[in-house]
Structure 1
Amino acid sequence: MSQHLVTGAAGFIGFHLSMRLLTRGEKVVGFDNLNDYYSVELKRDRLKLLTEFDHFKFVEADLADQAKVDQVFRDHNFDRVVNLAAQAGVRYSLENPRAYTESNVVGFLNILEACRHAKTPHLTYASSSSVYGGGTKMPFGTSDRVDHPLSLYAATKKSNELMAHTYSHLYGLPTTGLRFFTVYGPWGRPDMALFLFTKAILERRPIDVFNEGRMQRDFTYIDDIVEGVDRTSEKIAVPDPDWNSSAPNPSTSAAPYRIYNIGNNDPVELSTFIETIEQALGIRAQRNLMPMHAGDVPATSADI
């Protein structure tokens, strides 16, 4: 029976991953600060299901608290670490930028340091499709350059990839970064478009439709995301023997480092997405057509 650390265990993806691992008999230590970025009650409801398993242990703490992170690694010997804890949300990063550097940069550094000292066999961590910025070559590939993020959230995720590579190179820590594309499904985040739009339409309130509905997103079901996390976590990153420093592939390295897209390769236009919700509810949406929101990207699509 392997032992896993899942940070962000009370979050959307972390909850589903933890359930998958626990259901097949793995030990899971969940780590989450239960912040109020969205409903704490929803997070606690997820935790109630996880705590029904006697091989689940929960630690309520913040990744930015180095002492707490170090203590968890002293108390347990992890076979796998999956870092899903992060301050999420592209638009919120415009309002509260410091929350992103604390959680996504300082917190990730604490995880890297703890994994290094514990000689963790493999660290898998959440990156994001937002690192592709305003790139217009579709679909996005992991060999593409990602040097022009459009939001601080995207910049922190790109920094995670750079930090991970440094630790893979300097200390031989196997790391795998996963660029998630728009995730949806049960127990999802209430700040995501699916839930925001559905609630507003049911309440006969108008919805803000950015870029006049012409944005495209590569919506990916939660079960597919979790399948990707689980499989890549078990496939420990190794040095790429074909890596060439004169023509470097950004997604591999001479160090034990990998980057993968986890998406659907079937982008849907926002206007079509809204029409699907309307059909399911039998209610027409009141649409406020808006320009592109600062920090947003016009389209996403994974090359898988």
Structure 2
Amino acid sequence: MKILITGTAGFIGFHLAKRMAERGDEVVGIDVINDYYDVNLKYARLKESGIEKSLTTYNNPVVSSKYSNYIFIKLDISDKHNMEELFDTYHFDVVCNLAAQAGVRYSLTNPEAYIEANISGFLNVLECCRRVKIKHLLYASSSSVYGLNKKMPFSAHHNVDHPISLYAVTKKSNELMAHAYSHLFDIPSTGLRFFTVYGPWGRPDMALFIFTKAIMEGKPIEIFNEGKMRRDFTYIDDIVEGIINVTDKPSKGNPDWNAQCPDPGSSKAPYQIFNIGRGAPVSLLEFIQEIESATGKLADKKYLPMQEGDVAETWADISDLENELSYTPRISVKDGVREFINWYDNFYRFKVLKKRVRLRFTSKYNVLVTKR
């Protein structure tokens, strides 16, 4: 099939685009490549996918040197005109919207970025899907939508009307917007609430990256809520396989949906919400122990109170995805952390070595010039 994946310079989008290109789908990936975190990591992901940085000018299609069926275009989903032209040109079967302004804490100080990307940008995606009548829209939601909910495990059938960050508000808004378009225009849509995704090529603002960097550099790590945190850490390969399972099976209306007792996770319209996690929360201190084991170094721990906008625990009820779409997370936290550490060590050690070689060459060159 022909699929549009937004956010393919991002963590999940990068892995999904590679996986779908490898299985033979025609993939078009877009990303605005903003500077929320290090753009060099984003360009490195693209390079790993066969997309050279020098070719990625705005709105210019670049064919991957590794996958002839993968085209990347630097494009902002908030750019309505060029998004419409993109859909008119490629006639997508499926759209997977992973582009978003990420991060809970950043939303406390930069709310406008979330409205532009996560609301206005998503509206453009919906409108384009309506215009060309795509077969299936998938989009990234988040475990953050559960907010003040304390009923565990979190279920897609629970009420989620009490978010505690603007980031969560925008993700819940995406679910509501998608439902309206599914109802009005019969667009099959599926929202995926991601639970703490981690793994190689992960985001620098996520706990695993932050902790690993600090531990390997001998710096203290900050542990919030005095260490009383649990997260449903989910390895990237399991996430990607789950997304692909969902991609291949467009949502259908729930024939048992009852308007007198409405189920928040489904509808009479072709709309559904799934949790996608591992279904097994791990304490943050256990997670840090796995990092210590993989790096061979002990962390210098600094315990702090809870941060604004954060929650103490996440735990995904993944039974719907398991029962309906054969989703089976396989990677243990121990193995997943080791895979990340191996990638981090190789990626950043190589970058440091390249920098040192470049500096030595420059120094030698300057000496030669001086002698002349």
Matched, 1:286 2:300: yes
The answer on whether the counterparts of 1:123 and 1:176 sit within 8 Å (CA) in structure 2 is yes
The answer on whether the counterparts of 1:175 and 1:256 sit within 8 Å (CA) in structure 2 is yes
Q: 2:205 and 2:275 mapped to 1: Cα distance?
A: 23
Match of 1:139 among 139, 147, 153: 153
Alignment of 1:62-81 (within 5 A): 62-81=76-95
* Deviation string, structure 1 residues 97-123 (Cα, Å, up to 9, x no partner): 111110000000000000001101110
Letter in 2 for 1:36: D
Deviation for aligned residue 1:49: 2.7
Matched, 1:237 2:262: no
Deviation for aligned residue 1:271: 1.3
Matched, 1:26 2:25: yes
Matched, 1:13 2:51: no
Alignment of 1:23-172 (within 5 A): 23-50=22-49, 51=64, 52-172=66-186
Number of equivalenced pairs: 303
User: What secondary structure, in the 3-state scheme, does the structure 2 residue paired with 1:88 have?
Assistant: coil
Map of 1:175 onto structure 2: 189
Structure 2: which 5+ runs fail to align?
Answer: 50-63, 319-372
User: What secondary structure, in the 3-state scheme, does the structure 2 residue paired with 1:5 have?
Assistant: strand
Matched, 1:186 2:205: no
Larger radius of gyration: 2
Letter in 2 for 1:78: F
Letter in 1 for 2:185: Y
Deviation for aligned residue 1:279: 1.9
Task: Name the TM-score, length of structure 1 as normaliser.
Answer: 0.98
Deviation for aligned residue 1:53: 1.0
User: What secondary structure, in the 3-state scheme, does the structure 2 residue paired with 1:259 have?
Assistant: strand
Deviation for aligned residue 1:134: 2.0
Letter in 2 for 1:173: I
The answer on whether the counterparts of 1:134 and 1:298 sit within 8 Å (CA) in structure 2 is no
User: What secondary structure, in the 3-state scheme, does the structure 2 residue paired with 1:127 have?
Assistant: strand
Structure 1: which 5+ runs fail to align?
Answer: none
Pick the structure with more helix per residue. Answer: 2
Letter in 2 for 1:42: L
Q: 1:227 and 1:132 mapped to 2: Cα distance?
A: 24
- Stretches of 4+ aligned residues off by more than 6 angstroms: none
Q: 2:72 and 2:297 mapped to 1: Cα distance?
A: 41
Percent identity between matched residues is 59
Letter in 2 for 1:62: D
Aligned-residue RMSD, C-alpha: 0.8
Deviation for aligned residue 1:251: 0.8
Q: 1:282 and 1:76 mapped to 2: Cα distance?
A: 49
Deviation for aligned residue 1:282: 2.1
Q: 1:71 and 1:174 mapped to 2: Cα distance?
A: 22
Deviation for aligned residue 1:217: 0.3
Q: 1:24 and 1:285 mapped to 2: Cα distance?
A: 40
Q: 2:295 and 2:48 mapped to 1: Cα distance?
A: 29
